[in-house]
Structure 1
Amino acid sequence: MEEHLPKLIVDLGLILGVGAITTLIFKRINQPLVLGYIIAGFLVGPHFQYIPNVADEHNVEIWAKIGVIFLLFSLGLEFSFKKLLNVGGSASITALVEIACIVTLGYFVGQWMGWKTMDSIFLGGLLASSSTTIIIRAFDELGLKRKKFANVVFGILIVEDIVVILLMVMLSTMAVSQQFDGGQMLSSLVKLGFFLAVWFLGGIFIIPSFLRSIKKYLDEETLLILSIGLCLGMVYIADSVGFSIELGAFVMGSILAETVYAEKIEHTLQSVKTLFATIFFVSIGMMIDPASMMEHKWAILIVTFLTIFGKLLFTSLGALLSGQPLKQSVQVGMSMAQIGEFAFIVAGLGLSLGVTSDFLFPVAVGVSAITTFTTPYLIKSSEPVYQFLNKNLPEKFLQTIDRYSSDTQHIKDENQWKIIIEKTIKNLALNTIIIVAITAFTKNYLLMLLYDNVSFFQANFITMIITLTISAPFLWALVGNKVSKTLVSQFWHESKFNRAPIIGIFTLRLIFILGLIIFIYYQFFSSKIAVIIPIVLLLGILYFLSKHFNKVYDIIQNRFIFNLNEREILEEKKLQAKKENYQYTWDNTHISDMQVPQHANFIGVPLGELNWRTKFHINIAYIKRGDRIIQMPNSESVLYPLDEIGIIGTDEQIQKFENYLKIIGESVPTSTEDSKDHINITMDKVVIPDNVPEIQYQDIGWIKDACLGIVVSLERNGEISYNPDRDVIVEPGDYLTIVADKKKLKQFIKHYNLK
């Protein structure tokens, strides 16, 4: 009997074959690969009959769902909650204003076009994010990645990613319940925030510790299997408690992003993610119906107009409100006027849940295709648009914007009261979340287990005592840690006017402790009089065992902080070890004074043409010509007889160059104290840290321009490159030996907090 090849294998071969062809074409025409995958999906889908089509669409949908999981898991690996905290107020305010306005306007435009309520809501959702891929590509092509506004744009994209994830959860909840009540939505948001906090706090406390305990077994294969298992486990948990599988994948990715294995996991997962993500976008393309797109061509044009002008306007407005100058606000706004890859995921979510119309996805594809091509032109047009606004807007309005921007930029953020209030809010929020999570766990699992073995009263009493015992360190922590107590004590004695607010803060903490004890009690008993007993007992226990609870809480807190910062701690140790191991190389690079021979054959020839950097691996730090000193001469500078020059290099390189000068003419090293008194050249070695995005992945030329100096060597992974080219990209952990004017180099190092 003839054995037939399973349809799944045939379909997979067809999908990947056509996908490979479209990938090559779109790489050749320099367009986003996502659009290529979608077109491949259309070609193998039911609406294109000129080549073989996918036979079993149901199997492809399952693979596509796995693709979404890996896409969101990978996004979580690239994301970091610490990165979100470091985004800054400007990007956060801009993103939130833009998202709130465009989502709202998208809903009302959908209603104006006569769409159903869910179609209108999902339209707003798919407009919420811009395309990171398209923006980065456009910035690269136009050479704008170093511009100040580009950092704001990248910060906005980070905030958009997390907000869109939350939007997807909200849309899923609304789609399932078909309820739009404001109270219910607020309840869902609170529930979402609570579970996000619990998963993150618990994950950071447990997972890095677990990975450290088995690190000797973690080769690439084991790490890949383990990370996928953790991802799918969190997907199952998220689905079980009523959230989307996308949220579960993203949360686990963001937890693993804080471990030392993040890059390794991302690298080993890359091929798996690419395979399933390709199938996902191909499956989306299979939904494209050209007839439907033609039928809704006006909707595509209206939504395109809304995307370009709405996102441009609202992002610029958000940037202005955050205190950005008019020019920078216009540049930011015109960079964000497109929809991103998340739009396809949101549109696909609506279709998979069966709550949106079939035409919504083709509309998203059409809008994405148009805005992909318009983005570079809009970015290039930002300067002329700014000039037009600057000329035509009322002078009073422009002065108001400038004054507001200047005032916002100079607001002093830090003061002692702000520190106390922030610490109080964080303390109350984090410990309350942990206590509520402990109570929910014991009530839903431990209590149910005890019901099968003891009486109702005994089960409730035992569970309450266990809950209060486990929660005791966190209840005591609500009083405040040592740092907070020391700060409060200083304020108390500093001024009598500080005492009333301090008493208010202490009272608030005490109310929280009492409220949480009552909350725990009422989860297991309903008597209103008897609640006084556990309150009195627990407060007494908290007081007499405070040292013990402090010790337990410190252990838990220190473990969590170490797990959260483990990557930075290990990186710092590596950098310190590298600095110590290669100190000799640094000491061997120095500046030596020489004199140009009187009859040298290179007199009057530009330094660029002499090409001594390539021939001898040296640099010229300065030229002293009589009373005149030329610091950091450029390639057009020339040498004259008897010029004194400062040569930068190692002993061997300087010796080789000195021998060359001796062959040309009599020349001896000079080291006059008089010349050194007037020369302000210095040499220093800096390391590029992880927390300075302005420098990371810039080129050497940018570093030279920023400090007006010379990068004489670059050390990476123990290998030293002398006189690196201007276009060499700087990476975190690189050591740069820089020669520059003392004052300018000191300012450069201080500005970027380099070591």
Structure 2
Amino acid sequence: MSDIQLETLISDLAFILILGAVVTVLFKWLKQPVVLGYIVAGFLASPHFEYLPSVTTESNIEFWAQLGIVVLLFSLGLEFSFKKLLNTGGSAVVTALIIVIGMMAAGFGIGHVLNFSNMNSLFLGGMLSMSSTTIIIKAFTDLNLRQKKFASLVFAVLIVEDLFAVLMMVILSSIAVNNSVEGGEMLFSVSKLVFFLVIWFLVGVYLLPTLLNAIRRYLNNETLLVVSLGLCFGMAVFSVYCGFSLALGAFVMGSIIAGISYAERIEQVITPVKDLFGAVFFISVGMMVDLHVIEEYISPILILSCVVIVGMIVFGTFGMLITGQPLRIAMESGFSLTQIGEFAFIIASLGMSLGVLNPIIYPIVVAVSVITTFTTPYFIRMADPAYNFVEKHLPRKLHFLINRYTTNATSECETRVLWKTVLKRYLWRILLYSSVIIAIILITLRYLLPWLETIIPSWSRLIADVVALSCMSHFLLALAMPASRKTERERLIAANARFDVPLIVMSLFRMLLSLGFIIYTLSAIHSMRVGWIVGFLIFMLMLIALSGRLRKHMRRIESTFFNNLNERELRRSGRNNNLVSDMHLAYIEVGYGCPFVGDRLIDSNLRQRYGVNVASIQRGSSFIAVPNGTMRIFPGDILGIIGTDEQIQALLPIIEQGNETGGENENRADDIKLTNILLSETSPLIGKTSATSQIRDKYKALLVAIQHSDGTYDHPTGNNLFNPGDILWLVGDPKQLESLK
């Protein structure tokens, strides 16, 4: 019997792969997305198409498809990276949140109009709220738009949407199992997910780079493939053990690996496996397509397609405007998100596996995905004409309000930027250290204490106290320590005395939270009285006796953690994209046919001829921040270019001439950042010009623009006189720019 099952398993796989190969070659020839080819191949292999043989056992394909979901989410995680999430900022989070909430509400409402149940309408809203990362990247590449400013913002939104999709899968699973929307149960599920994500993230970032670096001499491609897939499936199984899905564990492991230096090699070796099982998954999606169902439900399909297109444009544009992006950038972003893709299929598969999704919805959503995928390139091209039409007919007052809001939202004073940095570090420390402490408490109460009671009942509680508090002590003290540096606190208080109050409140809250963890642990092991009395004494002793030594130890732990976290930096994505006005930072690889190869920067006249600035040069493993004019340009160099969309798009084909990869390499450096400095009356730059101040030579910084007190901008010409109240926009090493501040 097992031989027969194995034979049918292999024969079904062979049939769908051969059919998939033929159809996808045809779609490549027609210059259409390969994903659509897989869906068509799945339809041709299904029992719904009677002119070709169909698979013998659909459960065989279901097995391969589930395996494909795990590998596909692992590969999506490799492109995700918690580091990217931290760098996207509030703009991408707010925009993605508006899109997801808006599209879920629209999908839920349309579901009721189409007479679907509450559960089916909820799942439908989830399917319609996720744009396709694969389709958008393909469209941007084909249209040569990846260097546009809005493209980087769209990628950031897609990163956050991926995380929301994983969160949504957990919430929808909880709702489906309980067959109702219970606020307490949902809050518990979300809290549980956040807790495990933080713990997995901390352990993974701290241990994985160290482990892989220790065995790096043995990591050829074969071994790396085995190790990465072992980590993928291992985390998937552990995720199920913790009460989550296989897909979630695979995604988390991919996102952890995405932050380490081996990520590119793992992406390369995993790509064939991802392509194979991803193809099987999309083919299995196509097998759900039934032309009779599509013909019967053509009206809902067209209605949902219109809802996706219009909803994504409206909510995407509105989200970008809310976060301070100009109207053109906002509309270009909204018009790029007009499709649904892989996560819609994954959510649909989840609903089918839980038995709560009407089987009719699956082929309807597949049909909507096919339609919106075909229309995506056309809507991306329509963004500029639509913007020109809106700008022409937009009331003057409304246009003025949008421009003023955009200027105010993107022009932050130095004090506000510093305050946001301190607050972000404060919140992340609370989240990370609290999660570790809670994990130690749970392990102590659930596993350690019961085990000790069976071995040495009389000493079990005391030993549990000592072990738990010893493990927690480092993190308790780190939680109680100030999240801001002394110089930052002094600058905030000097800028505005009112900042002293929130800083004191933040310090008190951290100390009370640390004390609360100690009291809870002792109360759970002994009694409430013991917890309060002994806990307070222990906390005071820790602060007095152990603070110096523990602080040094925690600094070493934090240093190791952040070194691992920053192993692989963002590259060629223009992470500091929200620069002055329409300018942004892009990374372009120099091709062998570039006319500037061998020239010095000063001889290339890039600023005079194209209006751009060269902020950095990445050459192999060497990174040159703010290069001087004598630096020469060589093939393979990655230039950090600052300019407008039009300037960069005009320069891109010239620099990348002869580069077949089209500049797909990304910059690994994160040593330079954009910052703005408000000039006071005592600034050493007052009275000097942009030429006589020697900012490039003295501070290794590039002056990008000068913002005056009336909100206008000047590009540096060498004759600009610095006055009090001017805001200088500079690119350089933040450590060296501290002396300017």
Work out whether residues 259 and 566 of structure 1, in 8 Å CA contact, stay in contact via their aligned partners in 2. yes
Pick from 640, 663, 682 the counterpart of residue 729 of structure 1.
Answer: 663
Q: Quote the residue 1:428 is aligned against.
A: 430
Q: 1:578 aligns to what? A: none
Aligned partner letter, 1:400: L
Task: Name the aligned partner's letter for residue 22 of structure 1.
Answer: V
- The answer to whether the 8 A contact 1:32-1:133 is kept is no
Relative to structure 1, the CA distance from residue 620 to residue 460 in structure 2 (aligned partners, 3 Å threshold; closer, same or farther) is: closer
Q: SS of the counterpart of 2:371? A: helix
- Which residue of structure 2 aligns with residue 340 of structure 1? 341
Q: Which residue of the partner structure matches residue 352 of structure 2?
A: 351
Q: 1:146 to 1:539 in 2, by over 3 A?
A: same
Change (3 A) 1:171 1:413: farther
Q: 1:343 to 1:703 in 2, by over 3 A?
A: closer
Residues 558 and 159 of structure 1, relative CA distance in 2, 3 Å threshold: same
Q: Partner of 2:631 in structure 1?
A: 684
- CA change 1:210–1:693 in 2 (3 A) is farther
Instruction: Provide closer, same or farther for how the CA distance between residues 730 and 341 of structure 1 changes in structure 2, counting only shifts above 3 A.
Output: closer
User: In 2, are the aligned partners of 1:427 and 1:480 still within 8 Å (CA)?
Assistant: no
- For the 8 Å contact 2:259–2:569, the answer to whether it is kept is no
CA distance in 2, matches of 1:116, 1:355: 10
Relative distance call for 1:486 and 1:543 in structure 2 (3 A) is farther
Overall identity of the aligned pairs, in %: 39
State how far apart, in whole Å, the 1-side matches of 2:381 and 2:495 are: 56
Note the C-alpha offset of 1:690: 8.5
> Which residue of the partner structure matches residue 533 of structure 1?
534
Which of the two has higher C-alpha Rg?
Answer: 1
Q: Could you say if the C-alpha distance between residues 264 and 728 of structure 1 is closer, same or farther in structure 2, counting changes exceeding 3 Å?
A: closer
Unaligned residue ranges in structure 1 (runs of 5+): 572-610, 624-628, 635-680, 715-722, 736-741
Matches within 5 A, 1:310-321: 310-321=311-322
Aligned to 1:644: none
SS at match of 2:186: helix
1:322 lines up with 2:256 in the alignment = no
**Does the CA-based 8 Å contact 1:146-1:694 persist in structure 2?**
no
SS at match of 1:6: helix
Deviates more, 1:356-365 or 1:46-55: 46-55
Q: Distance in 2 between matches of 1:618 and 1:155?
A: 35
Q: Please list, as runs of the form range in 1=range in 2, the aligned pairs for 1:230-249 lying within 5 A after superposition.
A: 230-249=231-250
- Residue aligning to 1:202: 203
The equivalences for 1:337-736 within 5 A come to: 337-412=338-413, 414-415=415-416, 416-455=418-457, 458-480=459-481, 484-485=485-486, 487-488=488-489, 499-529=500-530, 531-567=532-568, 682-685=629-632, 702=648, 705=651, 729=663, 731-732=665-666
- Deviation, 1:478, is 2.1
Paired residue secondary structure (2:387): helix
Q: Residue in 1 aligned with 2:303?
A: 302
* Aligned equivalent of 2:736: none
1:703 and 1:124 mapped to 2: Cα distance?
Answer: 37
TM-aligned CA deviation for residue 526 of structure 1: 3.3
Call closer, same or farther: CA 1:54–1:477 in 2, change over 3 Å. same
CA contact (8 A) 1:102 1:127 kept: yes
Kindly tell me: are residues 631 and 304 of structure 1, through their superposed partners in 2, closer, same or farther at Cα, counting changes over 3 Å? closer
CA-CA distance at 1:196 after TM superposition? 0.6
1:19 positional shift: 0.6
Distance 2:561 2:606 in 1: 54
Answer yes or no: is the 8 Å Cα contact 1:446–1:463 preserved in 2: yes
Q: 1:206 to 1:729 in 2, by over 3 A?
A: closer
CA distance in 2, matches of 1:433, 1:612: 51
Give the deviation of 1:257 after TM superposition: 1.3
On the 8 A contact 2:104/2:128 being kept in 1, the answer is yes
Checking the alignment, whether the CA contact within 8 Å between 1:620 and 1:633 is kept in structure 2 is: no
**Offset at residue 145 of structure 1 (A):** 3.0
TM (norm. structure 2) is 0.78
The question of whether the paired residues in 2 share the 8 Å contact of 1:622 and 1:632 is answered with no
Closer, same or farther: CA 118–694 of 1 in aligned 2, 3 Å = farther
- CA shift in 2, pair 1:27/1:531, >3 Å: same
Whether the 8 Å CA contact 1:621–1:633 is kept in 2: the answer is no
Amino acid at match of 2:295: M
Residues 254/141 of structure 1: CA separation in 2 closer, same or farther (3 Å cut): closer
Deviations 1:593-649 (A, max 9, x none): xxxxxxxxxxxxxxxxxx9979x99899989xxxxx999899xxxxxxxxxxxxxxx
Alpha carbons of 1:14 and 1:479: their partners in 2 closer, same or farther (altered >3 Å)? same
Q: Which range is displaced more, 436-445 or 70-79?
A: 436-445
Q: Closer, same or farther in 2 for the Cα pair 1:546/1:298, shift >3 Å?
A: same
Report the CA distance between 1:444 and its aligned residue: 2.3
Shift of 1:448: 3.2
**Structure 2: distance between partners of 1:389 and 1:258:** 41
CA distance in 2, matches of 1:496, 1:617: 54
Cα drift, residue 482 of structure 1 = 8.8
Change (3 A) 1:414 1:183: farther
Residues 129, 164 of structure 1: 8 Å contact kept: yes
Q: 2: CA distance between counterparts of 1:68 and 1:351?
A: 14
2:223 partner amino acid: T
Alpha-carbon spacing, 1:612–1:557, altered in 2? closer, same or farther (3 Å)? closer
Q: What secondary structure, in the 3-state scheme, does the structure 1 residue paired with 2:631 have? A: strand
CA distance, structure 1, for counterparts of residue 548 and residue 594 of structure 2 = 69
Q: Give, in angstroms, the shift of residue 472 of structure 1.
A: 0.5
Matches within 5 A, 1:134-283: 134-283=135-284
Q: Distance in 2 between matches of 1:570 and 1:309?
A: 33
Shift in alpha-carbon separation, 1:511–1:14, aligned structure 2, 3 A: same
Structure 1 Cα separation of the partners of residues 546 and 65 of structure 2: 55
Q: Retained in 1: the 8 A contact 2:415–2:495?
A: no
Q: Which residue of 2 aligns with 1:87?
A: 88
Whole-Å separation in 2 of the counterparts to 1:429 and 1:43: 50
Give the Cα–Cα distance (whole angstroms) in 2 for the partners of residues 286 and 693 of structure 1: 47
Q: Per-residue deviation at 1:70?
A: 0.4
Letter in 2 for 1:160: E
RMSD between aligned residues: 3.9
The 8 Å contact of residues 435 and 471 in structure 1, kept in 2 or not, is answered as yes
**Whole-Å Cα distance in 2 between the matches of residues 570 and 404 of structure 1?**
30
Query: In 1, are the aligned partners of 2:221 and 2:269 still within 8 Å (CA)?
Result: yes
- Structure 1 residues 488 and 284: CA distance shift in structure 2, 3 A: same
Say if 1:210 and 1:300 are closer, same or farther in 2 by CA, change over 3 A: same
Alignment partners' CA distance in 1, 2:11 and 2:139: 37
| TM-score of the superposed pair, with normalisation by structure 1 | 0.77
